[in-house]
Structure 1
């Protein structure tokens, strides 16, 4: 997906980017061979690296559209849980992209819109 870099900051070794895109805005750790530049657009893939817990970090969404937003310094993503596998991996549809999640819990509903608390969101520059 395409994102526009609005702000760049460093936290220890990580480069943190504030970005906007067609579904809203968020904050993520940057991964790529080239350094991001403020005001430039990049094609990225998303990754949430920490395991998530059903009904705590991932909850059913009242909203029925794709969305990314910040609340109290944390990025949230609303998408559709397209597939849920037996090993705890799930595919979250976010626009035309799929984000693989590791979700702990039972009775995780596939085919539903969910809101994901993305504390460990990372973006990967795919055009390096």
Structure 2
């Protein structure tokens, strides 16, 4: 996914917190890797470390387009869930980006759009 760093919120030895914009929305995220610079455009991978449960932090969406926004410490994501394997590994597509998530297995017809709430959302730079 391509993002632009709009603000560096906090820098520490192992983690940077950033504000970013993308084609799918804006938000705040952890950035793992070399500290980015304000206004820097980056190609990144998404890491979503939450466990997702239907009816708790995951629901079928009425929307049919990917989006991301941040509010009050949570990242709200609309994305396409492509499949859930028997071991609970889900394959999520946010625009042109693929992310693996831990998700409660449920009999569904895939693919389907879902609304998700994440409290552990980060970016890693590609190609460094």
How high is the TM-score relative to the length of structure 1?
Answer: 0.89
Cα distance between partner residues in 1 of 2:27 and 2:116? 13
Partner of 2:38: 38
Report how far residue 71 of structure 1 moved.
Answer: 2.9
CA root-mean-square deviation: 1.7
The unaligned stretches of length 5 or more in structure 1 are none
Cα distance between partner residues in 1 of 2:73 and 2:89? 26
Tell me the SS of whatever aligns to 1:35.
Answer: coil
Partner of 1:56: 56
8 Å CA contact retained: 1:81, 1:109:
no
Superposed, 1:1-128 pairs within 5 Å as: 1-10=1-10, 14-32=15-33, 34-128=34-128
Aligned residues, how many?
127
Q: Which deviates more from structure 2 when the two are superposed, residues 10-19 or residues 54-63?
A: 10-19
8 Å CA contact retained: 1:42, 1:127:
no
Deviation per CA, 1:16-48, whole angstroms, max 9, x where unpaired?
A: 11110111112211111x211111111100011
